[in-house]
Each structure stands twice: as structure tokens, then as C-alpha cells.
Structure 1
Amino acid sequence: MKQHITALRVRYAETDQMGVVHHSNYAVWFEMARVEFMEALGLSYREVERRGVYLMLSGLEVKYRRAARFDDRLEVRVWVEDLRSRKARFAYEVTRQGSGEVIATGATEHIATDFEYRLVSMPQDLLDLFH
């Protein structure tokens, strides 16, 4: 199983009044990790879009396990959990750097569409990279 790890440091702006990372940031971190993962595999999001395909978000799940706070150093691990010709499901695990403590887990589901939002098949080389 191909995986990628993105390291990040929690910014003050990402925390709420309680000093805990706001829940909305996890979706952004998942996207960061997914984009880096694709680049590491050798095919960027930008290149997929140049070929006329959007990987449109169709689902998002996050399970919060522990609080993350300002200045925490975290890692977001991403991998392809399920792959079909027109759909991909990416799984994520956010851990505290060093201890490996799990902060959150989650998944995003994406459907392949053309620029008019009609369902299409993903490019074969993208499917091959994810396998």
C-alpha cells in the first residue's frame, strides 16, 4: 500500500477560543496531504485537471481522538483505501510527531468528473499510480 506523510505545525490561527485546533482545519490538512501524495506519486492535481478531469469531493469523514493545540507538530498519513474507475477513497491518520499519538482519523471520497461535472473515468495512469 502506497502511503505519504505530510508534516505540519499547528498555527495559532487554526485554534479556537479553547486553544484547540478547530475541526474545520482537518479537511484542509487532508487536502494538503492528498495533494502532496499525488505529487510524490508523480502526477499532480494540476496535471489531472489539465487533462480535463476534476476529482470532486463527494464525502468527508473525521473522527477526533485527541486535542491538537497551537505549535503542536503533527503528521498526516494518507493512502488510497478504495479505488474504482470513477471513484477514489483516501484514508488519513493524523498523529502527534514523536509520540505517534493518534489525534484524528478520516477519509475523503472523490468522484471523477469533466469540467461540466459529468461523471467520467479517471485517467489510466492515475489509476495505475494509486494501485
Structure 2
Amino acid sequence: MRYAETDAMGVAHHATYPVWFEVARTDAMHALDLPYRDLEARGYYLMLSGLNVEYRRAARYDDELQIHATLGAVRSRTLTFSYEVRRGDELLATGETRHIATDHTYRPARLPDDLLTLLGLPTSA
């Protein structure tokens, strides 16, 4: 963890966790072979509609952290990601973000079947 991500006591600032979640979510989308850049090029945004973080233990300056993102619920217009922040085997925080698919005019939009299939939702849904 970088010093700029801490407060005066050397503890990770609470506002840093959503930034870490975004990095992990971006990596997860790449692993699904669906980078955000491709999604946006096809005319869609995944706008944040909800965020939750549960802090369990403090992360401190110079800790080596692992942030894992997992795609959970997938619907035709919404996605939910779950997160874990770990220091080795120790769970420091969990979280969840909810996203709604929109077109480039910010109106809710159904994702096309091929994208839903990449995300793990059967196209018959």
C-alpha cells in the first residue's frame, strides 16, 4: 500500500477501498475477456448504482495487499461484484458494488446476448 493511501496514523483511508475495488474489477473484466474499453466501444457504460464496504481490520502503510473481485449476480441490465481485501490469509475488508448498464446517453440499456454470455448469463434469460 502506498503512503498517499493512508491517514495520519498510517492506516488505509476508508475512501481508498473503492479505488482498490475498481482496479480489481477492471482486472476481473479483463479476465472475462471483456475489458471496459470494449464495452464502452460497443456503446455501453457500467454505472455505479451501489457501494458497500465492511471494514474488519486495519490495513497499514507498506502492507502487501491482495484485492480480489468476483462477478456475482448478472442480469440483463445489472451486474454485482464482490470484493475481498487480504493481507496474506487475513481478511481485512469485504465489499460489493452494483452497476447498471446504460447507453452513452445514460439511459438504462439491456446488454446484448453475446456480452451476457461472456458474463456467464445464458442468453435465454
Q: Which TM-score band applies after superposition, normalised by the shorter structure? A: over 0.9
**Matches of 1:26 and 1:124 in 2, distance apart?**
32
Q: Which has the higher contact order (CA 8 A, sep 6+)?
A: 1
Q: Displacement, 1:123? A: 2.9
Matches within 5 A, 1:49-64: 49-64=40-55
**Matches of 1:12 and 1:112 in 2, distance apart?**
34
- Of 30, 46, 51, 2:37 maps to 46
Secondary structure of the 1:125 match is: helix
Q: Specify the alignment match of 1:123 in structure 2.
A: 112
Q: Which runs of 4+ in 1 moved over 6 A?
A: none
Q: Specify the alignment match of 1:75 in structure 2.
A: 66
Higher share in strand: 1
Q: Specify the alignment match of 1:27 in structure 2.
A: 18
Q: Displacement, 1:18? A: 1.5
| Count of residue correspondences | 120
TM-score, structure 1 normalization: 0.88
Q: Displacement, 1:78? A: 1.1
**Matches of 2:59 and 2:99 in 1, distance apart?**
27
TM-score, structure 2 normalization: 0.92
**Matches of 2:42 and 2:81 in 1, distance apart?**
21
Q: Deviations over 1:24-62 (max 9, x none)?
A: 110000000010111111111001000000000000000
Percent identity reads 57
Structure 2 counterpart of 1:64, one-letter code: Y
Q: Deviations over 1:82-106 (max 9, x none)?
A: 1110000100011113xx1001000
- Of 87, 92, 105, 2:83 maps to 92
- How large is the RMSD of aligned CA atoms in angstroms? 0.9
Structure 2 counterpart of 1:50, one-letter code: A
Can you give the 5+ residue segments of structure 1 that lack an aligned partner in the other structure?
1-9
